[in-house]
Structures are given as C-alpha cells and as structure tokens.
Amino acid sequence: MALLAGAALSLATGGRQDIGFDQILSALSAQLDEQSLSIIWDIRAPRTLIAALIGANLSLAGLLLQATTRNPLSSPSILGINQGAALGIAIGLVFPSLVIFNIDTMAVLGAAFAGGLTLTLAGGLKGTLSALRLILSGVAVSAFAFALVRFTFTLDDELALSVIQWTTGDIADVRWKQATPLLVWCLAAGVMTFFMSHKLNLMALGEAASKGLGSDPRFTLLFGILLASILTGVSVSVAGPVMFVGLIIPHLCRAGFGTDHRVLVPAVMLCGATLMLVADGVSKLINFPEETAVGVVSALIGAPYFLYLTITAKEID
C-alpha cells in the first residue's frame, strides 16, 4: 500500500499542469484529453517507474555491501561507489573516444573501480578487512572521485553547465527507454541476491564460521561488491549520484523484518522504491512550481540518519 501511495504521489505532483488522483485513474482507461494523457504517460509515468527502480537498486546495493563487508555503515555513497560511477560518466562525456560500449558501461566500470579501490585500501583482498579503514577509505575515494568529476567537467564549460543538476541526483527529464537497463538489472540482481541469501546469512557469522560451513567469504565479498557496483552504475547513469538510500533502507528493514536475507532482499527493494517515490513527490512540492533535485531530498533524509548511526554505534572496528 505504501508503494502504491508513493507512486500516486509521484504521478500526481510536478509541473504546472494540475492533475489529480482521479485523473490518474482515468488515464488507465484513456478517458482523458490528449494533453493530459501525454503528460501522464510520456513524462510522469516513466519518471515514477525510474524513481522506484533506482530506489530498489540502490537499496539492494546497500544491503549487499553491508552484508558482505559486515559493516552497518556501508553503502554506495559511503564507500565511494556513487562518485566512482559519476567519474566514469564524466570521463565518457568529456572524452567520447574513451567510451567502452556506452555511458552505462562507463558508469559501471567507474563504480567497480571505486569499490575495488576502497576494498583494497581497507585490506579486504588480504582478508584483513577493517570496518574503520573501510569507512575512511570510502570517504577518501569518494572525495577524490568527486574532485576528479568537477575537474573533468571544467574541461568543457558548456557541458559543465548542463550537468550541474545531474550531479545532485536528478530525474526530471527521464524517458521510458532509460528504464530498460534499470529494470533488467533490478530483476536480475534481485533474483541472484535472493539465491545468495544463505551465503549472506553465513557472512554475518564471521569469516571463520562462514568457511567452516562451506561458504567462500572472499568470493561472496567480491561478488557482492561487483553486483552492487553494477546496480549503482546503472542508477547513477540515469539519475546522478543519489545519496544515502542504500544506507537507510537496509537498516530500517532489518529493524522491521529481521536479519534473514531471504526476507530482506524483497523487503529492501520494495521499501527502497517507496522511499524514492516519496522523495520524488516531495522534491516537486517543497519549492513548487520549481523542482528540487530528488538527490537533495534523499540527502536531507539520509545525512541525519548517518550521523545517528555513527553516534549510536558502540564500536566501529
């Protein structure tokens, strides 16, 4: 019900054309004038779907990172994966000759590189992963990647002006075709992660216990980082680096649904989609008729929660 309410809020808000909930229902049976139908189906509906998919993808990425690193503060934004994806896109836009396949691929490569670098600096590949070093490494990689993004865009003034809004996390101008990679990876990653639930549950017991029960914690860690990087990359390529969604939702779902990943996987995807839909609706209302980037709203929600987690955590290493 919350997901449907969030979708209705996202569809009904935004723009100077007043479209109510009753008109949204009428649009399902094509009982509206052509202009209203076009606004709903060509502008608002793809935005609503994409907001939900991005929320689901980033939340699932956060769950994977927290489970595989056994660190409750892990998320794409904290570990530098968000900014790594943004850097990959920036390089692809400013230097088109360097693009491999397409911009989405550049985002995934940038995200994977940043995630791998953070993991390496924190000692994850040596089996000496430290929670404190992981967070510090993530902050350093994120700051460095952000600086490179800004520097890269200064090489093209015209492009820099056009992507300022995108770098704050924006879905104002999305279209149906951009939903395809998001939907494909949302479904594929959701299925893969669900079937990995047993391994993720074992990771919570510690590396030694996980090995003793027949799991390979290093493979699970690398696979989790890779899948989280892909989910983050395809999301950032559409909306820019949306912050903190992957941090908040796994925590709330563990509090509400327990720690079994067979339950958590669908729960975080649904709750993440709901949060992004609500954030999208709020982003269109708080400065009406102008819009605020949805990434700003998610950061306003997530940053205080991150501070709360760091203050209440008994120990970080």
What is the end-to-end Cα distance of the chain in Å, rounded? 39
Distance CA 59, CA 76 (A): 9
Nearest to 60 by CA among 76, 80, 81, 36: 76
Q: Using pLDDT thresholds of 50, 70 and 90, give the confidence band for residue 18.
A: low
Q: What confidence score (pLDDT) does residue 306 get?
A: 80
Looking at the predicted structure, is the pLDDT value of residue 63 above 60? yes
Looking at the predicted structure, is the pLDDT value of residue 176 above 70? yes
Q: Which two tokens stand for residue 270?
A: 């649904």
pLDDT tens-digit map of 31-55: 556 666 667 777 788 888 999 999 9
Kindly report the number of other CB atoms within 10 A of residue 183's CB atom. 16
Residues making up the chain, counted from first to last:
317
Q: Using pLDDT thresholds of 50, 70 and 90, give the confidence band for residue 288.
A: confident
Q: What confidence score (pLDDT) does residue 208 get?
A: 76
Phi and psi, residue 88, nearest 5° = -60, -40
Q: Which two tokens stand for residue 44?
A: 């608002």
Specify the pTM. Answer: 0.89
CB neighbour class for 102 (10 Å; exposed up to 12, middle 13-18, buried from 19): exposed
Angle between helices 2-12 and 21-28 (to 10 degrees): 100
Residue whose entry in the numeric block shows the structure tokens 């149906």? 176
Q: What are the boundaries of each domain within the chain?
A: 47-312
Helical ranges in the chain per DSSP H: 2-12, 21-28, 34-38, 45-69, 81-94, 103-121, 131-154, 157-163, 179-195, 197-203, 207-212, 217-239, 245-257, 261-285, 294-312
What mean pLDDT do residues 103-131 have?
Answer: 85
Q: What is the CATH code of the structural domain delimited by 47-312?
A: 1.10.3470.10
Looking at the predicted structure, is the pLDDT value of residue 103 above 90? no
Angle made by CA atoms 276, 280, 285, in degrees to the nearest 5: 145
Distance CA 36, CA 75 (A): 39
What mean pLDDT do residues 241-266 have?
Answer: 92
What residue type is assigned to position 146 of the chain?
A: F
- In this structure, what DSSP letter does residue 39 have? I
The helix/strand/coil state of 268 is helix
Q: What confidence score (pLDDT) does residue 112 get?
A: 93
